[in-house]
Structure 1
Amino acid sequence: MTAGATELARECERLRVENRQLQRAVSSHALIDQAIGAVIVLGRIRQDEAWGVLRDVSQRTNTKLSLIAEHVLKFAQGGDLPQPELDEFRRALERNRIGSRTGR
């Protein structure tokens, strides 16, 4: 392989990796957006509050946000939410309700 061909092969591989990363990011974003919608309905809260609930549950349970989103969507469809996530979900909703009442 010539130097030019080697560089082209490296660039092609770099672009393949970047493409896979972008595809995962788009899928994850769509999943999180759907979960935000579910939290809005379940918690009867605003979009920014629903985002905060998902983020809080993720941080406080040390679980990736995309996995929390997946679990919340299953929960919204009648499935189970792992107990630590369910407990934190309820606390996060309550924190948001209190914050909304105090103007936070």
Structure 2
Amino acid sequence: MQRTTLLPDNWWDLRAEAVAGEAAAQDVKTLRAENDQLRRALAGRMVIDQACGMVMVLAPCRRGPARNLLVDISRQCHTQLPEVSAAVVAAWEGEPLPRLMHRALGRALRRHYAEDQGCGAPLADEPSARGRP
């Protein structure tokens, strides 16, 4: 005998309502906050994956190096990874990339190509190559 469970189309919109006391109400608030946090994380993950795919096309590479390139840009710009990814996706669709991210992308791509060629020497626009510590 096989059991099939059908969920309504809007199952994610269902809300748990607490009937018993303040402790249950606090649990519901905590669960709703966690649910919202998970939704934001999933939305960020989707844009990161999309940007990784774009970087994989831009700099022919695998997923790991593409993600590392985005993380490198994120660190250089002191911006969170989902924001950098959203900017890359927007730039792919025709919007200008912010200047700081544009420069960081150029440096990261040059570094990626230098590593791909097996060059270990510092690049011309890196601080150690200019004589600064």
CA distance in 2, matches of 1:103, 1:35: 26
Residue 42 of structure 1: how far off its partner (Å): 1.4
Residue 103 of structure 1: how far off its partner (Å): 8.7
Q: Which residue of structure 2 aligns with residue 10 of structure 1? A: 26
Which one of 64, 77, 81 corresponds to residue 93 of structure 2? 77
TM-score, normalising length: structure 2: 0.71
How many residues get paired?
101
3-state secondary structure, aligned to 1:28: helix
CA distance in 2, matches of 1:94, 1:61: 17
Residue 64 of structure 1: how far off its partner (Å): 1.2
Residue 39 of structure 1: how far off its partner (Å): 0.7
Q: Which residue of structure 2 aligns with residue 61 of structure 1? A: 77
Q: Percent identity?
A: 32
TM-score, normalising length: structure 1: 0.90
- Code of the residue aligned with 2:70 in structure 1: it is L
- Code of the residue aligned with 1:48 in structure 2: it is G
**Which has more helix, going by share of residues?**
1
Residue 22 of structure 1: how far off its partner (Å): 0.3
Report matched runs for 1:10-49 at 5 Å: 10-49=26-65
Segments of 4+ in structure 1 off by > 2 A?
none
Unaligned runs of 5+ in 2: 1-19, 121-133
2:102 matches 1:86: yes
Cα RMSD, aligned residues only = 1.6
Contact between 1:42 and 1:76, CA under 8 Å: does it hold in 2?
no
Q: Which residue of structure 2 aligns with residue 51 of structure 1? A: 67
Unaligned runs of 5+ in 1: none
2:123 matches 1:99: no
